[in-house]
Amino acid sequence: MHIETQRLLIRNYTMDDVKDLHHILGDAEVMKNCEPAYSLEKTADFLSKFCIGKKGAVAAVHKDSGKVIGYILFHAFQEDVYEIGWFFNQNFWRQGYAYEACKAVIEYAFHELNAHKVFAESIDRVKSVGLMKKLGMQPEGIQRSHTKDEDGNWADLYLYGLLKDR
């Protein structure tokens, strides 16, 4: 994948991205609504096996600095249906980077891959659901007490999706 936006380059990962990715996945605040922060070793293993090996995610690279500032989960869930998710370096929050990157990846899915649907899920009903709505995704349901949060408490899982040409 190679997508350029105004401020970002969205591309496949390489092992050279391990330090930048660890600045994202190793940050407890970034990972708050997902799982515990990764060690450098876990980040390297995840990068190698999932991001590169399974091509399960792409990197959002800040054009001006060349730094990977965003992790974009993006993979085929089933034929013509893709899952998207995101984590961004905390220093780049609230500046529109996640929206810019995810919007570009969704457009790529619909126009280049002929996707029928792109969906996302999160337990974060404020920031993540807010971005899902801004991206034009529609609520598809809530799985009540479906997963545990970082404190071990049961949490609702919010499901949103976007259909092609809708």
CA–CA distance, 24 with 162 (Å, rounded to integer): 26
Is residue 57 within 8 A of residue 102, CB to CB? The reply is no
Give the DSSP H or E segment for 24: helix 18-25
The tokens describing 52, both together, are: 């590169």
Is residue 105 within 8 A of residue 84, CB to CB? The reply is yes
Please tell me what DSSP assigns to residue 14. Answer: -
Task: Spell out the domain ranges in the chain.
Answer: 2-120
pLDDT of residue 82: 97
pLDDT of residue 15: 98
CATH, range 2-120? 3.40.630.30
Calculate ∠ Cα 160-162-164, nearest 5°: 165
Which residue type occupies 90?
Answer: Q
CA–CA distance, 44 with 111 (Å, rounded to integer): 32
Is the pLDDT assigned to residue 38 strictly greater than 80? yes
CA–CA distance, 14 with 57 (Å, rounded to integer): 11
The rounded radius of gyration (Å) of the Cα atoms in the chain is: 15
Average pLDDT, the chain: 95
Give the tens place of pLDDT for each residue, 109-164: 999 999 999 999 998 887 899 999 999 999 999 999 998 887 888 999 999 999 99
Sign of CA dihedral 48, 53, 54, 55: positive
For 54, 59, 115, the CA distances from 13, given in Å and listed in that order, are: 11, 6, 22
